[in-house]
Structure 1
Amino acid sequence: MMGARPCAIAVLLAWSLIAGTLGQLSDDQPPQDSLSPPTPASPIAAGEKQFRVVYEWNVLDFAFENEDERAHALYGGHYIPKNVLISDCKPYANRLYLTIPRMLPGVPATLGYVVRPENNGRTDPEIVPFPSWEMNERGNCSALQFVQGVAVDKHGIMWVVDSGRTETLTRGKEHVVCPPKLLLLDLKRNGTVVLRYSFPESVVPAGNNYLNKIVVDDAFGGFGYITDNSGADPGIVVFSRRLIRSWKVRENNSMRAARNAVRFAVNGTELNFSIHIDSIALGPYYNPNLSPDQPAPDALVSNQNFERNVYYSPLSSYHLYSLPASLLRDPEFNARATPRDILEAVVDYGQKPSQTDGMFMDNRGVLYYGLLGEHAIARWDSYQPFTAKNQQTIAKDAAYIQWVDSMGIDHEGYLYVVVNRLHNFVAGRLNPAEVNFRILRAKTGALSYVYTPDNLFNTDGKFLYTGASGEPFADNGLVYQYEGTTPASSRLAAAGILGAAASGAERSIGGAVGVLVVLGASIVRRLGAW
């Protein structure tokens, strides 16, 4: 084993403070010699634009009420610019919502927003605390303490994960320990709290957790799938909005750091990170009883025929894994399941060229993910095998892409990517004279996974379609019923309010509402672009 340089040791110690005890490692295989390198950096697809920098900051600032308030915060240590880092970014309407985890002292707010680039005259805008300064008060356990991951569902509800622990990069210093919680904020009502839930100690311990990223699933009243990469007890925390209940799914082989993937380099900085399950994404619906390449003779029967995959990866791993969403959603199964039961449900898709922190799925089943050691952003069509050939690098730049932390897609089809030099931040090596934080953007023509039209089946086998563009078409609801036994001989009976599109299946599939869904292959095979 090669000797670690001082900066690598410092980074390892710093990150171990974030995640707690490093805990057990899993065995993983290094990339094989036959794994070909990704394709060169290129536009995302023909006719689509490359990534552009829309925001960049040397250090991050906040929209204080006035200069006296800023001066008071600086003097009192409530705002220490070099200690502030953005982690997650989720666009909604005219805003980009940002998370600012309190890893170090001097972070005045842990959740905020900036206005979208088209309506912002600055490339380094001040962050506006959200929902308010009061809701970001450090030490107030009713307020937000440490937010790293958020998700916005198709109803405009933001799911906010709060670990409850602050100053996680410090050792032996005063820090806040509040009960970890989940808040649901209504973005249409300027962040009104619609649900507040504290996780039980048996699921998420207050003093030893690291709730990281979250994806949301509309099924059965709404679920959140949250990664906890704490050293002692990593896993996927599941929250049911209908049951107001949570539980944790654990699997040591796929959710723990891999021994061969803890060492890598970013821009020449050697790292030694033993970080467990981190990135997570939710795929489109499919029929698990059918081959993806074969037609579905009885496509729309009931909800029981449909499945979604929850994709995930430890940060310290080359592999991409998944579990069925139905398994995660079942508290009774998870209460009685043995480790072998969970392991048998895990799918190992194979290897990526490097470690990944941020990933995001669009509504066409395309997964976007960062490659930390490659200074790159890649994509994979989840309808295709996870081979080196099908993993396409769409952006690569050692100067601009240093640590992809998170991603999000807006209602216009723009993919936003947070790049934050986290490797330098945890080692205390950020240079305020340089650009340290960037938000990149590229047009993909897709929407967020939450707007996937094929995720709206009810238990009667009906398909509720709310419009390919999401919120602007939320009132134009259509219900389709599958009436035949084969796609070639059957029809859809349509009832709705969208004029010509409601007159028959043929017109609705290719007409005014755009392409809906092909009743064949994996049920949700797309027909052209949305």
Structure 2
Amino acid sequence: MTSTSLGNLSLDFSSPHTIAYFNFTPVFQWKQLDYEPSFAPGSTQILEDETFNTESLDPRFMAVYGEMILLSLYKHHISIPASLVSLPTSSASSEPPKLTPFPSREMNKPGICNYIEEAKGLQVDAHGRLWVLDNGSENCNAKIWTIELISKKRTKLIHRFTFHGSIHDLALDETPEGTFAYITGLGQHHIVVFSFERKKTWMVYTPGIGPYSIAMSPKESRELYLSFLNRLYSIPVAELCNGTGTANPKLIGEWSAEPYSMLMDNQGILVATVLEQNYIIFWDTSKPFEEQRIYEDAGLTSARPFTLAKDQNGTLWRFMLKIKGEPKYLLSKFKFRAKSFKVSSGKFPLIPFRLTTFLSQKNIFLFVFRANQRALFIHALLFKLTNQLQPRLLAFQFFSSKISLIVIHPN
């Protein structure tokens, strides 16, 4: 792989379709995901699982705690051994790890109401408890589980909802008055609030707005962010916890596409993955709304190609699904920082830059900076030049079309 960086922008020249605005560190990659084998008690005989297509395994939600990664898998209407699984954050083996049903294979039993049936949103609280939304099944209501990650000895079914299906994601709000979970569903114009101490739920209606993706702000501001279609809203959590029954979310701005998941870091950086798109976006909530990009890959065609989580150290973890090509699944991480590379003024400076010898003297890279809803997107294209051109750096702009071009020829 040949790459270089420009500020916080990382460019991978071995794959001209991929642009990472921050430096991602690869962790694992898989041609295919599979489960760890299960053995009969007291023997080395592998228990046979019901036949399923491993190509259909689709990570949707992720949480990270210590040296453990937790994933919930979308089932695509097939039977799989477990919808909640774990992976290590590192391995001494040259082979990527297999999926381990969590907390055990025995606790994952679709269609049986007292077991984990279809895991959805995941969060880890300050006490090291994993919160798991369980969509239930046709005959079983949705529910919430907590699992103590340090020992895995205490798996509790802490609440059953009065409905089944349509549950999606949650955000945790840990306060001196108690811990609250704010829960969204598909096509529901309300937020479900769950009080951990009281083991009680209530609904807060959001007229005209069907919250889907959700994220909690840092503790000092105590705002809940939610997205409906491509619009971003916020609600003071006081409106959710006082039991009034109705809230009026404030419109913040419009994303370039519809988020299917969001998360917030401790510095107030809101990160989102968006439907039917091949990029990840973010907004620094301490500043006026402005969408920016962390990463994009033109080779991604999945409707939900990214699954994100943050750990206790502020590291962002990214699980990526590729429909075409290999590896199909990639796990990587990076330390998020609020600063990003962008052009904010009309004058475009010449930037000292030197490419590696990967490029021949007949090749240049053309970087296109396009202003669209105040976000700057970068596309790398490889162009052939004739031998008459001398190696040099050119910079020019077209203000009428809001496109800025830098042509970089290797020295």
Report SS of the residue matched to 1:135. coil
Does the Cα contact within 8 Å between 2:158 and 2:199 map onto a contact in 1?
no
Aligned equivalent of 2:299 = 399
TM-superposed CA distance for 1:411, in Å, is: 2.9
2:352 paired with 1:440: no
CA distance in 1: counterparts of 2:312 and 2:223, whole angstroms: 23
2:225 to 311, 322, 340: 311
* Aligned residue type for 1:134: E
1:87 to 60, 67, 78: 60
Does the Cα contact within 8 Å between 1:89 and 1:407 map onto a contact in 2?
yes
Does the Cα contact within 8 Å between 2:223 and 2:234 map onto a contact in 1?
yes
Aligned equivalent of 2:74 = 101
CA distance in 2: counterparts of 1:123 and 1:442, whole angstroms: 22
TM-superposed CA distance for 1:105, in Å, is: 1.7
* Aligned residue type for 2:224: V
2:69 paired with 1:69: no
Q: Structure 1 pair 398/153, CA: closer, same or farther in 2 (3 Å)? A: same
CA distance in 2: counterparts of 1:136 and 1:407, whole angstroms: 23
CA distance in 2: counterparts of 1:120 and 1:225, whole angstroms: 38
TM-superposed CA distance for 1:318, in Å, is: 1.8
Give 4+ residue runs of structure 1 displaced > 6 Å after superposition.
none
By percentage of residues, which structure has more strand? 2
Uncovered stretches (5+) of structure 2, i.e. residues with no partner:
1-5, 12-20, 339-411
**Which moved further from structure 2: 277-286 or 215-224?**
277-286
2:237 paired with 1:352: no
The alignment-based identity, stated in percent, is: 26
2:202 paired with 1:247: yes
Does the Cα contact within 8 Å between 1:51 and 1:440 map onto a contact in 2?
yes
Alignment of 1:372-391 (within 5 A): 372-387=275-290, 391=291
Alignment of 1:27-426 (within 5 A): 42=9, 50-66=23-39, 69=46, 72-73=48-49, 76-77=50-51, 79-117=52-90, 119-122=91-94, 124-165=96-137, 176-190=138-152, 192-199=154-161, 201=162, 205-206=163-164, 209-219=165-175, 220-229=177-186, 231=187, 233-255=188-210, 277-286=211-220, 307-314=221-228, 317-331=229-243, 333-334=244-245, 337=246, 342-343=247-248, 346-387=249-290, 391-399=291-299, 402=302, 403-420=304-321
TM-superposed CA distance for 1:312, in Å, is: 0.9
TM-superposed CA distance for 1:80, in Å, is: 2.9
TM-superposed CA distance for 1:247, in Å, is: 1.6
Does the Cα contact within 8 Å between 1:136 and 1:145 map onto a contact in 2?
yes
Report SS of the residue matched to 1:65. coil
Aligned equivalent of 1:453 = none
Q: Structure 1 pair 101/363, CA: closer, same or farther in 2 (3 Å)? A: same
Aligned equivalent of 2:377 = none
In the TM superposition, what whole-angstrom CA distance separates every residue of 1:70-94 from its partner, at most 9, and x where no partner exists?
6x22xx42x3313322111111011
Q: Whose relative contact order is higher, 1 or 2, with alpha carbons under 8 Å and at least 6 apart?
A: 1
Does the Cα contact within 8 Å between 1:89 and 1:406 map onto a contact in 2?
yes
* Aligned residue type for 2:294: I
Does the Cα contact within 8 Å between 1:87 and 1:418 map onto a contact in 2?
no
Please report the RMSD computed on the Cα atoms of aligned residues, expressed in angstroms.
Answer: 2.8
* Aligned residue type for 1:145: E
Does the Cα contact within 8 Å between 1:41 and 1:395 map onto a contact in 2?
no
Q: Structure 1 pair 312/405, CA: closer, same or farther in 2 (3 Å)? A: farther
Report SS of the residue matched to 2:107. helix
TM-superposed CA distance for 1:436, in Å, is: 3.4
In the TM superposition, what whole-angstrom CA distance separates every residue of 1:151-181 from its partner, at most 9, and x where no partner exists?
001110111100102xxxxxxxxxx531211
TM-superposed CA distance for 1:62, in Å, is: 0.5
TM-superposed CA distance for 1:365, in Å, is: 0.8
User: May I ask how many residue pairs the two structures share in their alignment?
Assistant: 318
CA distance in 1: counterparts of 2:219 and 2:300, whole angstroms: 35
TM-superposed CA distance for 1:412, in Å, is: 3.4
Q: What TM-score do you get using the length of structure 1 for normalisation? A: 0.55
Q: Structure 1 pair 141/194, CA: closer, same or farther in 2 (3 Å)? A: closer
Does the Cα contact within 8 Å between 1:179 and 1:198 map onto a contact in 2?
yes
TM-superposed CA distance for 1:110, in Å, is: 1.0
Q: Structure 1 pair 138/362, CA: closer, same or farther in 2 (3 Å)? A: same
CA distance in 1: counterparts of 2:167 and 2:118, whole angstroms: 9
Report SS of the residue matched to 2:226. strand
In the TM superposition, what whole-angstrom CA distance separates every residue of 1:468-520 from its partner, at most 9, and x where no partner exists?
xxxxxxxxxxxxxxxxxxxxxxxxxxxxxxxxxxxxxxxxxxxxxxxxxxxxx
Report SS of the residue matched to 1:124. coil
In the TM superposition, what whole-angstrom CA distance separates every residue of 1:20-42 from its partner, at most 9, and x where no partner exists?
xxxxxxxxxxxxxxxxxxx9982
TM-superposed CA distance for 1:58, in Å, is: 3.6
CA distance in 1: counterparts of 2:259 and 2:93, whole angstroms: 33
Report SS of the residue matched to 2:59. coil
CA distance in 1: counterparts of 2:190 and 2:306, whole angstroms: 19
* Aligned residue type for 2:169: K
Does the Cα contact within 8 Å between 1:159 and 1:184 map onto a contact in 2?
yes
* Aligned residue type for 1:396: E
TM-superposed CA distance for 1:191, in Å, is: 5.0
TM-superposed CA distance for 1:101, in Å, is: 3.1
* Aligned residue type for 2:37: F
